[in-house]
Structure 1
Amino acid sequence: MNTELLLRIALAGALGALIGVERQLRAKEAGLRTHILVCIGSTMFMIVSKYGFGDILGQHNIALDPSRIAAQVVSGIGFLGAGTIMLNKQFVRGLTTAAGLWVTAAIGLIVGSGLYVIGIFGTIMTLLVLEGIRQLSTRLMGQRYMLMLSLTPASMDTAMQTLRKLRIRVMRSSVTRNENENKDCKLSMEIMLRAKYKPADIYSQLMSIDGVHKIEIR
């Protein structure tokens, strides 16, 4: 029994690592170690839930619900996922990573319960969604970028027109007005967009506009 339980923990760590590698390669907030720990931890919780109270069951009319700990993992992992969601003004990032952690916890619970085939299949499906659907989405709608522009107010309309000419889909935008000691006004723009162009192409087009001082592309 102990050998099989140890194998469950090892398998959970391996499956969590597969998802974590994909997230790490994409430079996401939760990477390899986080996903391994989440999957191993949920597996151990499930093992405790199923086998950890065998020595007291049947004594003094004690009855336990083996699903209670698993239910707490499902809700508790939400706190960890919430920590990966970042709100930068009106831009929300990290939702996919949070969902990935939630699924990783589910895989750990499944492996901990002994349903190995379902756990492996769930891992494969998760990787297909994270990587395969991402590539399909990029081909159909383009890559998602965050633009950070520093420009003069007069050049803002020209910058937006340039993006429209490139057939770039602007998803969200926000503008912050900055004034220095000389009362010169500059705008800081944050733009979430999707484009089929490379970042270098977008950078060169926008930097050619008079009044655009600085561009960061993430």
Structure 2
Amino acid sequence: MAEEFLFRLILASLLGGVIGLERQIRAKEAGVRTHILIGIGSAMFMIVSKYGFYDVIEHTHIGLDPSRIAAQVVTGVGFLGAGNILVQKQTIKGLTTAADVWVTAAIGLVIGSGMYEVGIIGTIMALIVLELFRQLTYRFLNRHLHLRMRIAAGTTQVVLAWITEQGYRIQLRSLANDTSDCHVLTANVEYTDATSVNQILSSLKENPAIKEVSVA
């Protein structure tokens, strides 16, 4: 039985880590370690809920509801998810990360209960939503990009003005020091024509003040 529990914990950590890796690649608030811990913790709670009270039941003949601990996990993860949601300048940030933290907890509970196929399928579906739908949204719906750029120090206003001259609308999200001679800038860039994402990135790289640029 111990080997079975160990397998469930390992599988829950792997599935949570895969989702966390996607978030970390996108430089989101909750990364690999957070998702692994959520997966392991949720699986452990479910294992305790299903199997941790057999000794009490055998001697006292007390009936227990195994769903109560799972319900409390959902409540607790809700607080974690809320901590990832930020409101800045009328813009809500972190909703997707909060949602996948919630999904990771659900996957951990499913694996902890022994429903491996459901957990694996749920992970695959979550990755499809996070990656494929992100591409579809950028391509067909919002026509905007969330970009992360490393720029030369002291060139922020020049870079923003230059991007505007290229025909894009840009909204600065954050600016932080990277090194003494570089800043890290994140911004939303909106465009209205049929320009591809690769073309936009290529055009931005032509500016010598922009050292690196990627989709965040």
Q: Tell me, yes or no, whether TM beats 0.5.
A: yes
Greater gyration radius? 1
Match of 1:119 in 2: 119
**Which residues of structure 1 form unaligned runs of 5+?**
152-158, 175-189, 208-216
> Tell me, what secondary structure is at the counterpart of 1:198?
helix
- The one-character-per-residue Cα deviations of 1:159-196 (angstroms, maximum 9, x if unpaired) are 7xx57x83x577x899xxxxxxxxxxxxxxx9744345
- Which structure 2 residues correspond to residues 184-203 of structure 1 after superposition, within 5 A? 192-195=188-191, 196=197, 198=200, 201=203
Kindly indicate whether the alpha-carbon contact (under 8 Å) linking 2:16 and 2:35 is maintained by their aligned counterparts in 1.
yes
Residue 76 of structure 1: how far off its partner (Å): 1.1
Which one-letter code corresponds to 2:33 in the other structure?
A: R
Residues 40-59 of structure 1 deviation map (CA, whole Å, 9 limit, x = unaligned): 10000000010011110144
Q: TM-score, normalising length from structure 2?
A: 0.72
Counterpart of 1:179 in structure 2 is none
Aligned to 1:104: 104
5 Å-filtered alignment, 1:42-81, equals 42-81=42-81
**Structure 1 pair 128–169 and aligned structure 2 pair: CA distance change class (3 A):** farther
Measured after TM superposition, the shift of residue 119 of structure 1 is 0.3
Mapped contact 2:146–2:187 kept (Cα < 8 A): no
CA distance in structure 2 between the partners assigned to 1:85 and 1:77 by the alignment = 13
RMSD (CA atoms):
3.2
Q: State the distance in 2 between where 1:56 and 1:49 align.
A: 13
Structure 1 residue 22: Cα displacement: 0.7
The normalised TM-score by structure 1 is 0.71
Report the equivalent of 2:30.
30
8 Å Cα contact 1:146/1:192 also seen in 2: no
| 1:2 paired to 2:8 | no
Aligned to 1:181: none
Q: Identity over the aligned pairs, expressed in percent?
A: 53
Conserved? CA contact 1:86–1:92, under 8 Å? yes
- The CA distance in 2 between the partners of 1:85 and 1:51, in whole Å, is 35
Amino acid at match of 1:144: H
The 5-angstrom pairing of residues 128-139 of structure 1 reads 128-139=128-139
Q: Distance in 2 between matches of 1:45 and 1:20?
A: 20
Seen in structure 2, the aligned counterparts of structure 1 residues 137 and 5 have a Cα distance that, compared at 3 Å, is same
Q: Deviations over 1:136-163 (max 9, x none)?
A: 222223423589x759xxxxxxx7xx57
Cα deviation, 1:187-212, whole Å, max 9, x if unaligned, reads: xxx9744345636746989x9xxxxx
Give the Å deviation of 1:19. Answer: 0.6
